[in-house]
Structure formats: structure tokens, C-alpha cells
Amino acid sequence: QSVCRPESFCLAGLLGGPAAPKEPARSSCSVYRASDGRVPQIPEGAPLFYSSFSRGSSMETPRAAAVAMLQFEEAAPLRSQFEEKNEERDQNEASAVEDIQWNAGEGGVIDISPQENGLVLFREAPGAPEKAATPSDGAKVTVDLEVFEVPDSSCLGRAFASGSLSLRLPLQRLQLVAGNGDESLPEEMELAIPRLKQGVASEVLCRRYGGMEDTHGRSAPWKVLSDCVGKTLLFKLNLVEAEDLCLATLPANERLDYAKDRKEAGSRFFKRGCSEAALERYSLAAELLGHIDDIKDSSQNKEAKEVRTLCELNAAACLLKLENWRGAEAVCSAVLRQNPDNEKALFRRAKALLAQGDGPRAQVDLRKVLDANPGNGEARQMLQEARREGRGTAREKKVYAKMLSPKTNEY
């Protein structure tokens, strides 16, 4: 109902009303143009919106859109509504029209790289709900993905303009499984998927793509990124759909199947050298099978016990890789309380004890291992090392005892 100056544009049918879409779509709008100085014929009740022009010459780049506000001679309150909508849109799509600052701990940027060395940074679009659900481990997910190359890695740590990015992988819709350890999926994606929220745009900055392991380019669509190894890439992600997987309410037989699946995922991560990711899967599977009284079938109950033990032993192997000696010792001790003769538990606990300098206790475990398996050459070699460690410890105790003993003839 407001008067527009000549040559201005009004887009109708996008805002307001119960049937209006959540976001503007060029294909669903009508354009009214006043070219002769007269008031354009706008349908009664049709809300006015702004026209959108790309910063370049192509309308195929809506992410780089700049907003040209309508010029009104009247209806200032309506213009205020446009400004509010414009600000809200810019906040929801901040990465589309403003420079991006990538510093961990600032502006919602999180360091998700395994060693927390800043190689993989994650951020959500501003305004994302904090308590929104994220995919459960092992859930099937549908993800939209675009990949861009950041041309100058020297800009990292400072802001870089989104318009300077070059598209390396056009928009793809992928069907994936969260936390599955798939060798054909870059680890950067594995790290990001558990953090995605449905309907919330997210971005991952890979400061050295493929630098953590050599799994890139093995299958489509990653083949097109095979020449990007070592380069800085920006992944734009959107979680379209995620399987609703409630672990707390899984029936007994499904819980066993899920635990077995997580064990296999842990093994895939372990083979890739991702010990922390493997540990998470083994620990989750073992925890789910901590109470199996509801598994009434005797064969399934026995299988559940075996799977739980294997997951605990594998978790101990991960802890040894991570040099968490006390953690490995504790896990092995828990297994040995249920099965005192478990050879792998004895051997891995001996490793943990030896690493902590406890040679005598390591010797006890290693002798049990050799009694059960005399041909275990590694255990025999460790036993010799444990004996040397034990003698060294005894000598040190003797020296310390002398140093600490009272000397009545010296002051």
C-alpha cells in the first residue's frame, strides 16, 4: 500500500501469512516494477520485501547476496520491518555476507582436531539453539556438503572474505553413518558429523586437508579433492536428516547388535590410527553391555559377555597407545576380576605396569602369561625388562634408604 519511486522493485508474497515459506525463494515471488512513475499494482494484502542483487554479475551466487533496500516515500513502519528481517537473515547466514574470523575459542569457533592443534576448526551459524539434538553414534544421517578452497593460508587467524573462496566440490547430498570409521570418509568429516544440528548451517575449516591420514580420494565425491591435500579447505555442512536412535530404550537384542556394530567401528578407527575415536566406540559398546540380565537367550547372553570383554580389552589397547598407563591398568584389572586367566588382560596390564616403573608386579602378570603360552616371545622379552626394572628399583630404594637414615655422627 506504499508508494514506490520509479525504477524500484517490490517483491511480494514472501513474508507474512500462514503459508509463507521460512526463507525467501526467487522461484516463489512476484516482481512489480514501476517504470512510468505510477504506483505499481500490488495485490491487496501482499507484503513487500526487498530485492536482492549478487555482488558479482551472476544471480547463481545467493550466498554472496548484497541487499538493496526499497526506497519508500511513505510507510516508515514497514521499512523498519524490512530492516529487522534483513538483520535476522544476516545473523542466520553470517558467513554468507560478512568476513569470517577463525580463532578457536572466539565467535563460537571450536578446535575439534584430535590433538587440539588447530588443524580442524568448527563453527555453527550464529543463533543456533544450544540444546538441539545431535546425531547419535551409529545413526544414519543425510548431510548437504559444499567444499571451498581458501586461497591464502596466511589469512588464517584473521578474517577472510567469503567471496574470496573458490568452489572445489559443488553441493552434494550424502548418506552417511555417524562415527562409523569409514576409510573412504575424510577424518575431518568424521570429526564434524557428531556436532551437526538439524537445520543449522555449520562450517569446518581444515587447515591442512588430509594431513592427519591418507584416506582422501578413495571414492566419490572425494576424488575431486585429491589434489587438495595439504591445502586449506572450508566445508559448509547442513544436517538434513538424522535417524532417531535412542540408546536408552533399545530392546535387549537390538542393544547387542548395536554394541557389535560400535565395536566394528572402533576397530576401523583403530586401524586408521585414530585411537581416541576407537576408544570412544569400544567404551560405549562395553557400557551398553554392562548389564545383560534382560538378554534371556543363553547364547545371546554368552555372546554379549564375550563382546563386552573384547571391547574392554580393545579399550585397554587404545589407552596404551595414548600412554594412559593407569587407565589401561584399571581396565585390564576389571577384566581380570571376571576372568583371572585372561592372557591379553594380563599381558596389557603388564605393559601398563612396566611403563609406570612397577617391575615386580609386571613380572607376576608376565609369568602367568608365559605359563599359559610359553611361546610368547614378546612376553619373555618384557619379563627380562621387568626384572631389570625390579633390580633397578631395589637399588634405588637402598640408596634412598641410606640418604634418609639418621646420621648420629654428622651434623
HSE (side-chain half, CA atoms, 13 Å) at 220: 3
C-alpha 284/C-alpha 222 separation (Å) is: 29
Residues of the chain with pLDDT under 50: 1-40, 42, 46-79, 82, 85-86, 89-98, 211-212, 214-217, 397, 399-401, 403-411
In this prediction, residue 275 carries a pLDDT of: 93
Q: What share of the chain is helix, strand, coil (3-state, %, to 5)?
A: 45, 15, 40
Percent of the chain with pLDDT over 90: 46
pTM over 0.85? The answer is: no
C-alpha 219/C-alpha 176 separation (Å) is: 13
C-alpha 146/C-alpha 234 separation (Å) is: 8
**Of 325, 383, 373, residue with least CA distance to 349:** 325
**Vertex 81 angle, CA 76 and 82, to 5°:** 95
All structural domains of the chain, each given as residue ranges with its CATH number in brackets, are 9-92 (no CATH), 100-242 (3.10.50.40), 247-401 (1.25.40.10)
**Vertex 9 angle, CA 36 and 7, to 5°:** 35
Residue that is written with C-alpha cell 512489480 in the block: 32
**Vertex 154 angle, CA 148 and 158, to 5°:** 85
- Residue 172 backbone dihedrals phi, psi, to 5 degrees: -125, 145
SS3 of 65, please?
A: strand
Q: Are 268 and 181 in contact (CB under 8 A)?
A: yes
- Residue 32 backbone dihedrals phi, psi, to 5 degrees: -120, 125
**Of 196, 193, 205, residue with least CA distance to 162:** 205
What are 80-137's pLDDT values in tens digits?
A: 554 554 455 444 444 433 455 788 888 789 999 888 888 899 999 877 777 788 999 9
C-alpha 281/C-alpha 158 separation (Å) is: 36
In this prediction, residue 389 carries a pLDDT of: 77
Give the torsion through C-alpha atoms of 403, 408, 409, 410, to 10 deg. 50
In this prediction, residue 210 carries a pLDDT of: 79
What are 23-65's pLDDT values in tens digits?
A: 443 333 444 444 444 444 545 554 444 333 333 333 333 333 3
Helical segments of 126-274, H only: 187-192, 252-271
Q: What is the 3-state secondary structure (H, E, C) of 220-263?
A: CCHHHHHHHCCCCEEEEEEEEEECCCCHHHCCHHHHHHHHHHHH
Ramachandran region of residue 107, left (φ > 0), alpha (ψ -120 to 50) or beta? left
**Of 314, 263, 271, residue with least CA distance to 289:** 263
C-alpha 82/C-alpha 78 separation (Å) is: 7
In this prediction, residue 32 carries a pLDDT of: 43
Residues 6+ apart with CB under 8 A from 277: 114, 179, 181, 190, 266, 269
In this prediction, residue 409 carries a pLDDT of: 41
In this prediction, residue 159 carries a pLDDT of: 52
Helical segments of 93-174, H only: 94-97
In this prediction, residue 41 carries a pLDDT of: 52
In this prediction, residue 229 carries a pLDDT of: 87
